[in-house]
Structure formats: structure tokens, C-alpha cells
Amino acid sequence: MRRMTSILCLAAALLAACGEETRNGQLTLAGSNPLKLADESGKVVEFLAGPTKVVFSAESSRRFKVSVSQGQDKQATFSGQAPAGSGWNFTLRGKDIGQQVDLASDHKVEFVGRPWRTIRDGGPCGFNGRMVIEEEYQTCNEDWRVDFADSASAQPVGTFRSKRDNLTCLIYSRDLYCRDYGPNPPYPPYPHYPRRLSSAEDSVKKLNDLGVSGIKFD
């Protein structure tokens, strides 16, 4: 059985399993100064308070990228290494990610109501079958917050926050059995056995059809 809490991807499992998570939210500033982030190119980008999009991209060995953008003109992408077993909840020092700010990601999921289960076909299995999969879902609310603090003074600089309600979370998924549909098309072809003749008249008719007028016995 594979057990997880998933919103679009495995948000509570290993980062490497998540692939990419995109959130649209609001950036608020602790003071009057903008949030300054260094892009991979070395350029420093200044972000003001307002609508902001953050993309979290996980790679192998828990290596990840974070892209912060406001519109088409302002975007900064940087990468780092997430602590083992932290999912999307982690704290990174600015010096470890090439930034002047520390980053703290806090991802929370609240479950609402009763879960429900579904049965569906999964990937191929057997000779020509499909794996039957049982999955359990539950309605959930997500609150994702990323705090930025000055690396030197530890003073808050700004906060990005994304809240989404009434989502569908995958609680667990497990393989039940392989439903084998057999060869399709049939290969090798099914044998066609000769029809059993039911009477002497059928025997004579069969001989006539073959153009045999009689049988001679030596």
C-alpha cells in the first residue's frame, strides 16, 4: 500500500516525488523595503507587496528550485537542498541558497468531512491486463506559508501565503489485483475444431460437397 496525503502531487511525502507545485498567493512585507532575491543569473530582483506566484520544483536527492515571480518582468529562481524527511516543511539559511534572506516553508493540510473510496483501473499488468487500484480521498483545506527573514539580523522581511479550500486530497492508494483481459487480438489464434457429423445424411452431404461420388474399398 502506498499511503500519502496528496494535493495534485505527494505533498506530504518525499520532495522528489512531488515534481512541481505552483501556488498563487499574496506577498506581504514586514517594512517599507522590498524583498530582495538573487536569481540564478546573479541578478538581484526586488519584490513589492502584492499578488505573487511561487513555484516549488523538486528534483532527485531532495534538491529543489524555488521561482518567485510578479508578472512577466520580475522573476527570481534559486535552488537548495531540503532537509531529509521534511516534505514541504523546511527552513533554509540564506548562505546555503545564495540569498541574503533565510527561507522557512510551512505547509499545512486540514481534513474536512468523511473520506470516500473509489476503484479504478491503473497501469498495465499481466499478459494483457490492468491493475485494479483502490484509492481513498477526503476534502481538505491547504495553507502554505513561506517566511523570509534577514540572514544577518533574523528580522522578518516578508511573507508569502497561499490558502486554498475545498480541495480533494488523496489519502492512500493500493493495488488490489491484476484484471487480465487475455490476448487481444487473440494470438495465437484459437483453434477451430471440425464439426462432428451428426448423421449418415450429413456424411453423404459432406462427400457430395467435396465432389466425391463414392468410396471404394479394396
Report the domain count for the chain: 1
**214 in a domain, yes or no?**
no
Which of 85 and 92 is assigned the larger pLDDT? 92
Locate 12 and state its grid cell.
Answer: 506530504
Residue 83 has pLDDT above 80, yes or no: no
Q: Are strands 35-38 and 63-70 parallel, antiparallel or unpaired?
A: unpaired
Structure confidence by residue, pLDDT tens digits, 10-20: 333 334 345 67
Q: Grid coordinates 531540503 are at which residue?
A: 82
Q: What percent of the chain has pLDDT over 90?
A: 45
Q: Which of 158, 165, 164, 163 is nearest to 50 (CA)?
A: 158
Q: How many residues does the chain have?
A: 218
Predicted pLDDT of residue 157: 92
* pLDDT above 80 (res 28): yes
Answer yes or no: is 212 within a domain.
no
Q: What's the pLDDT tens digit per position in 36-63?
A: 999 988 899 999 999 999 988 876 667 7
In a domain? residue 112: yes
Show Cβ contacts of residue 29 under 8 Å, excluding neighbours closer than 6 positions: 35, 48, 49, 157, 158
Q: Write down the pLDDT at residue 180.
A: 84
The model carries a pTM of: 0.66
Does 6 map to a domain? yes
**65 or 17: which carries more pLDDT confidence?**
65
Q: Are 28 and 95 in contact (CB under 8 A)?
A: no
For residue 114, tell me if it sits in a domain. Answer: yes
Enclosing domain of residue 30: 2-180
Q: pLDDT digits over 156-180, tens only? A: 999 999 999 999 999 999 999 998 8
pLDDT of residue 37: 92
What are the tens digits of pLDDT across the range 197-216? Answer: 444 444 445 545 555 455 45
The reply to whether 218 falls in a domain is: no
H helix intervals, the chain: 200-209
Q: How many CA atoms lie within 13 A of 51 on its CB side?
A: 3
Cα–Cα dist 85/12, whole Å = 9
191 is a domain residue:
no
- 190 occurs within a structural domain: no
